[in-house]
């Protein structure tokens, strides 16, 4: 039934990581700690032209500039991983012009989250190539480079097998699930529904996180996944952070977790809430597309590659 997912080669000391800005603008200073940390990890870091560019607007460069930077990194044999310095918005504008021919022959890790969810979904559903949902450059700042979440990226790049724990949440539904891991930012997953980057979720473990959304919109997006048939045949569901939610003048009356719990209530699979994948500090590196075992127990949750 399954085409095995293709896992890009893990990194060895001296391998090169390309740093790109495929979406929003980021100054070089904000990525400085991240770049030097990755050098400390033993990698060569090659920075694309859009980090700290002269762009005057939201984006790190024009569509063409962002496309070229990403395309060059994809096609450059020396680059073993492509690290997105930040998300924001913009990958959806260029994704259909990216040529994946070389990348398919010679897969490499694509790293990031938030807007980068569109790449994770696209690579998994079109090429079955694994990628890394992980902290981006700003997570390294303010001593972040020492925390276990940024270090989980370091370990993932080296090829260490993933095994994460988190405490149980009162909303969890206990059980065990085995399946390929897919997911990312809820807004982006809703947005790619019906497009060429849409993901299949049947028999898989789905993880979701989001930031800064109105609660009614969280509900609406969950309904979109539900009505698109994306929630009924999951192996398991992992709910990460839903931080900085906004509310309407008249309160919505439910928290994001209450909204999600109610929508997945009819289904039998295990569900865990509060998993450390989020727009906050708690954001473990997850290899998208690989097989995992999820155990939602009485006192703790384990996700193991």
Q: Which of 40, 58, 165, 244 touches another protein (CB under 8 A)?
A: 58
Q: Which of 193, 243, 280, 302 touches another protein (CB under 8 A)?
A: 193
Residue at token pair 């190539």 = 129
Minimum gap (Å) between residue 253 Cβ and another protein:
3
Q: Which residues of 109-141 are buried (b: 16+ CB within 10 A; e: fewer)?
A: bbbbbbbbbbbbbbbbbebbbbbbbbbbbbbbe
Would you count residue 190 as binding another protein (CB under 8 A)? yes
Q: Which is nearer to another protein, 192 or 256 (CB)?
A: 192
Would you count residue 251 as binding another protein (CB under 8 A)? yes
Minimum gap (Å) between residue 100 Cβ and another protein:
16
Segment lying near another protein (by CB under 8 A), choices 37-45, 57-65, 157-165, 171-179:
57-65
Minimum gap (Å) between residue 153 Cβ and another protein:
26
Query: Kind and range of the H or E element at 64?
Result: helix 63-75
Distances (CA, A) of 37 to 23, 139, 269: 22, 11, 39
Q: Which is nearer to another protein, 123 or 286 (CB)?
A: 123
- Specify whether the CB–CB gap between 49 and 81 falls below 8 A: no
Q: Which is nearer to another protein, 217 or 302 (CB)?
A: 217
What stretches of 229-278 show up as alpha helix (H) in DSSP? 256-263
Q: Which two tokens stand for residue 278?
A: 């989020």
Helix 215-227, helix 256-263: angle, nearest 10: 20
Would you count residue 100 as binding another protein (CB under 8 A)? no
Q: Which residues of 87-102 are buried (b: 16+ CB within 10 A; e: fewer)?
A: bbebbbbbbeebebee
Q: Which is nearer to another protein, 138 or 195 (CB)?
A: 195
Would you count residue 223 as binding another protein (CB under 8 A)? yes
Would you count residue 26 as binding another protein (CB under 8 A)? no
> Of 42, 240, 280, whose CA–CA distance to 144 is shortest?
280
Minimum gap (Å) between residue 239 Cβ and another protein:
19
List contacts with another protein (CB under 8 A). Answer: 24, 56-59, 88-89, 92-93, 96, 190-198, 216-217, 219-221, 223-224, 227-228, 248, 250-254
């Amino acid at each position: 039934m399954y085409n095995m997912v293709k896992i890009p080669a893990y990194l060895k000391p001296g391998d090169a990581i390309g740093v790109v800005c495929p979406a929003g603008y980021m100054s070089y200073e904000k990525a400085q700690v991240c770049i030097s940390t990755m050098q400390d990890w033993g990698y060569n870091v090659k920075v694309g032209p859009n980090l700290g560019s002269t762009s005057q607007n939201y984006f790190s460069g024009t569509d063409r500039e962002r496309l070229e930077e990403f395309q060059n990194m994809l096609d450059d044999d020396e680059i073993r991983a492509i690290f997105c310095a930040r998300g924001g918005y913009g990958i959806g504008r260029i994704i259909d012009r990216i040529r994946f021919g070389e990348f398919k022959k010679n897969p490499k890790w694509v790293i990031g989250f938030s807007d980068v969810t569109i790449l994770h979904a696209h690579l998994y559903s079109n090429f079955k190539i694994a990628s890394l949902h992980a902290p981006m450059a700003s997570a390294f700042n303010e001593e972040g480079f020492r925390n276990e979440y940024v270090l989980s990226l370091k370990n993932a790049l080296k090829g260490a097998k993933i095994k994460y724990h988190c405490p149980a949440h009162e909303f969890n539904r206990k059980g065990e699930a085995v399946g390929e891991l897919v997911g990312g930012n809820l807004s982006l997953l809703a947005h790619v529904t019906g497009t060429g980057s849409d993901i299949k979720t049947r028999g898989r473990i789905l993880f979701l996180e989001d930031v800064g959304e109105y609660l009614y919109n969280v509900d609406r997006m969950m309904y979109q996944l539900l009505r698109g048939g994306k929630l009924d045949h999951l192996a398991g569901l992992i709910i990460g952070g839903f931080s900085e939610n906004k509310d309407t003048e008249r309160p919505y009356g439910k928290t994001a977790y209450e909204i999600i719990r109610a929508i997945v209530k009819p289904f039998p699979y295990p569900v865990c809430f509060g998993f450390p994948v989020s727009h906050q500090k708690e954001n473990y590196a997850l290899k998208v597309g690989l097989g995992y075992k999820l155990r939602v127990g009485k006192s703790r949750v384990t996700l193991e590659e």
